[in-house]
Amino acid sequence: MLQTTFCPTSFGCFQIKGSSLGISSVKLVENVPKEEKEIPEDLKACHQQLLEYFDGKRETFDLKLDWDGSADFNRAVWGELVKIPYGRTTSYSAIAEKIGNPTAVRAVGLANRNNPIAIIVPCHRVIAKNGDLQGYFYGLDMKRRLLELENPMSFARQGSLF
């Protein structure tokens, strides 16, 4: 049975869905519920690990993921995303090569867009081959903030001196 909880963070409120099979969805939501119910047992670890991640205290997630019903191509892409180390990035073309389909760069981008398990399956760590930030379903500002959280030396914004 699919269960739901919410995880308010400094980056916004994330809705977590999952069951005993694993986490099936983590997505940013605009409407934060006024009254939080008790966190379902199957979602407690995800809730706690997300809080730790956003507090800068967690670099890896240790959770079962449930991609049931997803296309094999998407699963292959997401399987590569979870291998990208914390604070590092890779390109869409590198992911396409790793899954054995070097011409599928746009399809990799689409799989990223369809990633149901944001943050935990770190599609925000995928950038353009030339180093530019491209496409993120929560916007490039959020993508930059996430990368900055993970690697402030490489992704911090340059402030104005005057």
How far apart are the C-alpha atoms of 99 and 109, rounded to whole Å? 13
Confidence of residue 111 (pLDDT cuts 50, 70, 90): very high
DSSP 8-class letter at 39:
P
Q: What confidence score (pLDDT) does residue 152 get?
A: 82
With beta carbons less than 8 A apart as the criterion, state whether 64 and 46 touch.
no
How far apart are the C-alpha atoms of 61 and 46, rounded to whole Å? 8
Q: What confidence score (pLDDT) does residue 155 get?
A: 62
User: In terms of C-beta density within 10 A (0-12 exposed, 13-18 middle, 19 or more buried), how is residue 75 classed?
Assistant: middle
Kindly report, residue by residue over 76-95, the tens digit of the pLDDT. 999 999 999 999 999 999 99
User: Quick one: which H or E segment has residue 153?
Assistant: helix 152-155
The distance of Cα 30 from the centroid of its chain, to the nearest Å, equals 17
How far apart are the C-alpha atoms of 116 and 154, rounded to whole Å? 27
Q: What confidence score (pLDDT) does residue 113 get?
A: 94
Pure H helices in 23-104: 41-54, 72-81, 92-98
Confidence of residue 156 (pLDDT cuts 50, 70, 90): low
With beta carbons less than 8 A apart as the criterion, state whether 21 and 46 touch.
no
Among the options 7, 13, 46, 123, which is catalytic?
123
Identify which has the larger pLDDT, 28 or 159: 28
Query: Does the annotation count 46 as an active-site position?
Result: no
Kindly report, residue by residue over 120-145, the tens digit of the pLDDT. 999 999 998 888 888 777 788 899 99
* Mean pLDDT, residues 25-30 taken together: 95
Q: Is the pLDDT of residue 161 over 50?
A: no
Q: What confidence score (pLDDT) does residue 160 get?
A: 41
Q: What confidence score (pLDDT) does residue 157 get?
A: 54
Kindly report, residue by residue over 33-71, the tens digit of the pLDDT. 777 789 999 999 999 999 999 999 999 999 999 999 999
Q: What confidence score (pLDDT) does residue 162 get?
A: 39
